[in-house]
Copies of this chain bind each other. A is one copy, B any other.
Amino acid sequence: MTNRTLRIAVVGAGYWGPNLARNFSASPDWDLAAICDLDEDRARQVSDQVGHVPVVPSLTELLAADDLDAIAIATPAKTHFPIAMQALAAGKHVVVEKPLADSGSNGQAMVLEAAARGLILMADHTYCYTPAVLKIRDLIAEGELGDILFIDSVRINLGLIQPDVDVFWDLAPHDLSILDFVLPGGLHPTAVAAHGADPLGAGRSCIGYLALPLESGAIAHVHVNWLSPTKIRQMVIGGTKRTLVWDDLNPQQRLSVYDRGVDLGKQAAGRSDRRDATISYRLGDTWSPALPEREALSTMASEFASSIRTGQPSRTDGEAGRRVLAVLEAATRSLSQSGSAVPLGDKEREMEAAR
């Protein structure tokens, strides 16, 4: 495909749309072709901020434009599926604000549709394109941490109690999309156990815990909470070689890589009784890599363009969005079963087979 500047329209001028519009507008890869929203005033405000691009209230009219390459969807989650399907049917590449869809099956249908038409479907998992998360992905990919032993993610805050979704669907997509991004091969838990509480009687979980055993014997765990008076956004990723701590609220030292850990020596057969003798503890240096300063959405916009041009999936493709949905759906099911572990493998296998 040529290197010509691609043309994109932003659909949805609410909370996130202006950010998308600003970044696609500023990107050397993209021309921002239009803002599309039923609320024409709101769309015009966004348009004014990025240099007066056309406002198109009708999605159908928008998609009819032959010179439009792609759309970025930032509408309410329920509408992601119909809008994306209509756009794919019109031959447009699509990037969708998280969550990819309002259900796993809709997400799966979008993935299949894009594949069938040879179009790019990308999830806007914005956090994945922050300098910190990109660095974490690289460190793991390069083997700096060794094999992953555990991931513990905490995202708590005095947050807005959402009217329509619980704390899992509100906050955990961030953690899950990051896990999917940094784990080699993506996030494939064998099961999901979710524990929630609604002690205020808000009608939905305001506090949530997710336990995600991984095939390797490792465990991932997520704590999300709307009721904490203090704000914590921290992820610990333990590996056989090193352990990384990401403290997103410490701009002076966001990432710390600890050469500290436990080593278990290999045992001769039949000597399991003497295992303890071979435990050793590493207490080495700590290292905090410098991070470039770049807005995540700007990197995301480049990636979307590059994906279209090369035909390769982006690092947060539709499949990644679908995996996040699969975990969230399993979490909802686990919640309704007193936290029983809901296995993910079978359904996953079906989905993989369907592709």
Contacts and interface: CB of A to CB of B under 8 A. Distances in A.
A2 interface: no
Contact of A152 (B196, B225, B275, B338): B225
A216 interface: yes
Number of copies of this chain that the complex holds: 4
B262 A339 contact: no
B338 A341 contact: yes
A279 interface: yes
Given A221-B223, A226-B262, A287-B285, A211 B163 contact: no
B261 A339 contact: no
B223 A197 contact: no
A163 B265 CA distance: 14
A217 B279 CA distance: 42
A200 interface: yes
A245 interface: yes
Nearest to A162: B276
A339 B260 contact: no
A217 B161 CA distance: 17
Contacts of A107: none
**Range of interface residues on A (Cβ < 8 Å):** 35 or more
B290 A284 contact: yes
Contacts of A156: 152, 236
10 contacts: A149-B227, A150-B197, A152-B156, A161-B279, A195-B219, A196-B219, A197-B218, A200-B264, A229-B261, A285-B290
Given A150-B227, A228-B238, 19 more contacts: A150-B225, A156-B236, A158-B261, A161-B262, A163-B276, A193-B339, A197-B217, A197-B218, A202-B275, A203-B275, A227-B262, A228-B236, A228-B243, A229-B236, A229-B258, A230-B256, A339-B339, A339-B340, A340-B340
